[in-house]
A and B are shown apart, each in its own frame.
Chain A
Amino acid sequence: MRTRIKALRARDSLTQVDLAKKVGVRRETIVFLEKGKYNPSLKLAYDISKVFNMQIEEVFIME
C-alpha cells in the first residue's frame, strides 16, 4: 500500500508531529505510514483522510 500523506502534509504545511497530534498517534506511526510499512486501521485511515478533507482512497492507494 502507498500513501500520499507526505505530499498532503507538505500541501497543508503540517509536520509529522502536528498530524500525529491531530489523529492521536505517536510520530513513529506517521513515519511508518509514510514509508508504506504499516497498514492503518480503518478508523486511523478515516481520521487522517478527514484531516486532509479527502476520501480514504485518495490518501491510501492500494497497489
Chain B
Amino acid sequence: MKAKTLAIIKFSVAAVILSLMSFWVFQTTKPLNQFAYIIIGVMLLIVGFVIYFGVQALRDAKSGLNPVDELSKKLTQKAAATAYKMSIYMWLFGLFALDLFAIDSVNKAKLVIAIGMIGMTLIFLFTRLYFSRVGIDENQD
C-alpha cells in the first residue's frame, strides 16, 4: 500500500471517530457525567495516536520510503498479541470489579464491553509506540 493512501486511511479514521464523538456529545439529552468525560478523553487520545501514525506515514512518503515493511508488520503483530493477552485479564477484572457496584445487568454488560474494547485499543496503541521506540530484541530468550 502506498504511503499516501495509508495516511489518508488513518486521517479518515481519525475524522470518523471525531465526528461520531461530536455527534454523540451534541445529540445526547442527558448531562455528561464523569464516565462520559473519561470516554471523551480516551477517544481523543486514540485520535491523537491515529494522527501521529498518519503523519509518520506521510513523512515516509515524502522521503520516498516504504511505510510498511517487515519490521513494522512484526511490531504491529507483537503489539496486537500483547493487547490480546492483556485483555483476557482485563475482561476478567472488569467482570468481577463491576460486581462491587450496584449496576443493572444490561448497563454492566455495556460497561464491560466498553472498558474491554477501549482498554484493548489503548494497550495496542501504547505497546505499538513502545515497540517502535525500543524495537523487539529477538536475540533474547
Q: Which residues of A are in contact with B by a Cβ distance under 8 Å?
A: 1, 17, 20-21, 24-29, 32, 35-41, 44
Chain B residues whose CB sits within 8 angstroms of the CB of A36 once the complex forms: 139
How many residues of B are counted as interface, with CB atoms below 8 angstroms from the partner's CB atoms?
A: 17
Residue of A nearest to B66 (CB): A24
**Smallest distance from the beta carbon of A39 to chain B beta carbons, Å?**
5
The yes or no answer to B138 lying at the interface (CB within 8 A) is yes
**Smallest distance from the beta carbon of A14 to chain B beta carbons, Å?**
14
Residue of B nearest to A27 (CB): B65
Residue of A nearest to B75 (CB): A28
Whole-angstrom distance between the alpha carbons of A35 and B135 in the complex? 10
Whole-angstrom distance between the alpha carbons of A25 and B74 in the complex? 13
Residue of B nearest to A35 (CB): B135
